[in-house]
Amino acid sequence: MKRLLSTDPKGFDGPCGELLNRLNPRRQEIKARLHQIEGNLLGGNLEGTSEHNRWAGNRCVALIDDYVVVFNVEEYSEGGELTRHVYLLAVELEKQRH
């Protein structure tokens, strides 16, 4: 199976860059978590992710503190080969849980 990861420049890259800067001392922790998320999603493990946006079928997974990564996964056949394509769409702040 072919595995691809894509990011959206406005929804993901900008906010992720901001977060990496804002929480600079925890940059390695955030990067490690992102790699973990990447590995899980490309491997098809959606455990621990929740439905985020009903109309769009987006899901989200915890990143760090109250921040979440919103993503979508598509599986399609390309040239006879099955492809799993993970799109990281946004980094958002979850509302405070009480």
Q: What residues line the site for other proteins (CB under 8 A)?
A: 4-22, 27, 31, 34-35, 38-39, 52-53, 56, 58, 60, 67-68, 70, 72, 87, 89-95
Q: Could you tell me the smallest distance in angstroms from the CB atom of residue 95 to other proteins?
A: 6
Cβ distance to other proteins smaller for residue 54 or 80 = 54
Question: Residue 67's beta-bridge partner residues?
Answer: 64, 93
User: Hey, how many other C-beta atoms are within 10 angstroms of the C-beta on 11?
Assistant: 16
Cβ distance to other proteins smaller for residue 46 or 56 = 56
Q: Could you tell me the smallest distance in angstroms from the CB atom of residue 49 to other proteins?
A: 14
Q: Could you tell me the smallest distance in angstroms from the CB atom of residue 14 to other proteins?
A: 5
Per-residue three-class SS string for 32-88 = HHHHHHHHHHHCCCCCCCEEEECCCCEEEEEEECCEEEEEEEEEEEECCEEEEEEEE
CA distance 41 to 5: 9
Q: Could you tell me the smallest distance in angstroms from the CB atom of residue 59 to other proteins?
A: 11
